[in-house]
Structure formats: C-alpha cells, structure tokens
C-alpha cells in the first residue's frame, strides 16, 4: 500500500522548495504520473483557491506533506510523512498564509517527532511534530473525540497537486467531499477490502473529479461541529491515483485515535 500514499517520495527536493516558498508552476498538460505504476499521492483536485485566513490552522511541512495546528506547539500529520519517533530538527513548518511565497508567512523548525506506535504502513497513520517555539495569533484545529461528525460533507485543503501527476501548488486549494461508508469503500468496485474500517474513513465522489492528491498527505479533513466551529475528522492518508472514479480518498479516522493523540500531545507539552 505504500505506493498509494499521498506524498511524492521521489520529488522530495521539489516539495521542500514549495514549503520554503519557492514558486512551483503547474506541470504541463500530459505530464506523466510520478510513479511508474501510475499510482500517485494526493493534492486537492477539483478545488478552488482558499481565501487568506480562511483556514488559519493549515500547515505546510518541508518534507512535502500537510498538517494541522493541533496546539501552538504541535502539528498533527500522517505517520507516513515521518520516519520515526525521536528528536528531529530538520522539518520546517510554514503557516499563516495561503501563498507559500508570502512575506507574512510564519515558519518554525521542528524539535521532536512522535509517530503512532506500531505504525507499519497500514493503518495507525498519524504523527505529531513538536515545534521549536509556540505559534501565536493562529487558530488551532480541535480533533473529533467521537464519531458524531464522521459522516456528512467534509472540507479538504492543501498545497498538493491539482491533478494526478501534477506539480505542487503555490496557493492553498480547498474542496468539499462527501462521506463514503465503509461497506461501499471496501466493495469490489472500490478498494476491495483494503480499507481498515476501524482506523480509516473514506470520502469522495463516486464519479471522481474531486480529491486530495500528491503532496496533501498529513493534511486535515474537517467539517463544522454543532457550534459551527471547524473540527478535524480525518488525516490525508492514501488513495489510488487522484480523483479517479470509484477511488475516493482514504483518511485516518481521527476519532478512533483521539485519546492516543491527546495523550501523546500532552506528553510533548502540547
């Protein structure tokens, strides 16, 4: 399943450039997919540009992933975006802007990474990155602690590719995707039993056309709660290609791991 992950492992340098603010143009029409088997990772396909300040909790990570500001010192992302638990000062987090080239962007270096215990490439796809100093003036994104909000229509956002095999984006894109129930997502027409019902949640259109894509890994899937505030229900994890018919995005089901995430964040001082 590793080849389905929504990160461009072979293009890490380009992704780092994007996160550090270098302008990356969209790939020309007809560009080939990133991997030889045609299976690539996620960015937002079929989306539109987010407004400045619309999603202040969004984070771009220098290894080519996304994330969400869980607390002023903690970023929640995907386990497959990081290599291990331990001291790590190599990751740069960029926040506070839609345009990665903006002079108003906020950046922080990492000082520690916590990867979900037992992660082996299938399920348990979450991780925490502790920042070297707190971020002030930006809203954080609360996580769902039960399944109340695990259905309905969700919002996804990221700086990943706007089409399968495309380049990373300079501007944050957003889209909405509907929930797909476990039985449908695991049917022979879709993922044929590959999805882990307890760990993962599917979202996307049966006809395709809207999805996360390569470079969106680790970013949040979120919706409004009963108080009309944003709440995170998923983490961009994997999918077959981007926005293909009958291949919705597969996301880490945050509510299932909420207590473990909260406990780990607390241990990191967040």
- For 14, the 3-state DSSP assignment is helix
114 or 162, which is more confident? 114
- Can you give the pLDDT at residue 7? 54
Known active-site residue 35: no
Is the pLDDT at 27 greater than 60, yes or no? no
Q: How far apart are CA 123 and CA 209, in angstroms?
A: 25
Going by pLDDT thresholds of 50, 70 and 90, the confidence category of residue 104 is very high
Asked, for residue 21, whether it belongs to a domain, the answer is no
Share of the chain above pLDDT 90, in %: 79
Is the pLDDT at 72 greater than 70, yes or no? yes
Going by pLDDT thresholds of 50, 70 and 90, the confidence category of residue 166 is confident
Asked, for residue 28, whether it belongs to a domain, the answer is no
Q: What is the 3-state secondary structure (H, E, C) of 190-209?
A: CCCCCCCCCCEEEECCCCCC
Q: How many domains does the chain have?
A: 1
Q: In this structure, how many other beta carbons lie within 10 angstroms of the beta carbon of residue 226?
A: 8
Asked, for residue 122, whether it belongs to a domain, the answer is yes
Known active-site residue 211: no
Q: How far apart are CA 63 and CA 116, in angstroms?
A: 18
Whether the model pTM is above 0.75: yes
Q: Which of 43, 62, 71, 80 is the catalytic position?
A: 80
- Helix, strand, coil distribution of the chain in percent, nearest 5: 15, 30, 55
Q: What is the CATH number of the domain that holds 208?
A: 2.40.10.10
Asked, for residue 14, whether it belongs to a domain, the answer is no
213 or 29, which is more confident? 213
Mean pLDDT on 211-226: 95
Asked, for residue 107, whether it belongs to a domain, the answer is yes
Asked, for residue 3, whether it belongs to a domain, the answer is no
- For 33-68, the pLDDT digits (tens) are 333 233 333 448 899 999 999 999 999 999 999 999
Mean pLDDT on 16-42: 31
- For 115-128, the pLDDT digits (tens) are 999 999 999 999 99
Q: How far apart are CA 162 and CA 160, in angstroms?
A: 7
Asked, for residue 160, whether it belongs to a domain, the answer is yes
Asked, for residue 120, whether it belongs to a domain, the answer is yes
Q: Which of 41, 217, 237, 255 is the catalytic position?
A: 217
- Can you give the pLDDT at residue 39? 33
- Can you give the pLDDT at residue 5? 54
Q: What is the mean pLDDT of the chain?
A: 86
Q: Which of 125, 150, 211, 216 is the catalytic position?
A: 125
Q: Which domain holds residue 83?
A: 49-268
Known active-site residue 133: no
Is the pLDDT at 167 greater than 60, yes or no? yes
């Amino acid at each position: 399943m590793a080849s389905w992950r929504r990160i461009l492992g072979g293009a890490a340098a380009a992704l780092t450039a994007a996160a550090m603010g270098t302008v990356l143009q969209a790939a020309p029409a007809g560009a080939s997919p990133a991997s030889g088997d045609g299976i690539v990772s996620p960015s937002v396909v079929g989306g539109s540009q987010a407004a400045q300040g619309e999603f202040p909790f969004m984070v771009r990570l220098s290894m080519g992933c996304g994330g969400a500001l869980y607390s002023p010192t903690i970023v929640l992302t995907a386990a497959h975006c990081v290599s291990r638990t331990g001291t790590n000062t190599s990751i740069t987090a960029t926040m506070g802007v839609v345009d990665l080239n903006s002079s108003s962007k906020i950046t922080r270096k990492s000082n520690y990474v916590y990867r979900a215990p037992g992660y082996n490439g299938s399920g348990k796809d979450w991780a925490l990155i502790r920042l070297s100093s707190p971020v002030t003036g930006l809203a954080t994104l609360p996580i769902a602690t039960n399944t109340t909000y695990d259905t309905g229509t969700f919002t996804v956002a990221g700086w990943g590719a706007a089409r399968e095999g495309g380049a990373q984006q300079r501007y944050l894109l957003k889209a909405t995707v509907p929930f797909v129930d476990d039985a449908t997502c695991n049917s022979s027409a879709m993922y044929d039993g590959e999805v882990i019902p307890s760990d993962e949640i599917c979202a996307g259109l049966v006809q395709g056309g809207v999805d996360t894509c390569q470079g969106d890994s680790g970013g949040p899937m979120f919706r409004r709660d009963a108080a009309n505030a944003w709440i995170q229900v998923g983490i961009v994890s994997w999918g077959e290609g981007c926005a293909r018919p009958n291949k919705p995005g597969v996301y880490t089901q945050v509510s299932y791991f909420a207590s473990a995430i909260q406990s780990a964040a607390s241990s990191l001082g967040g």
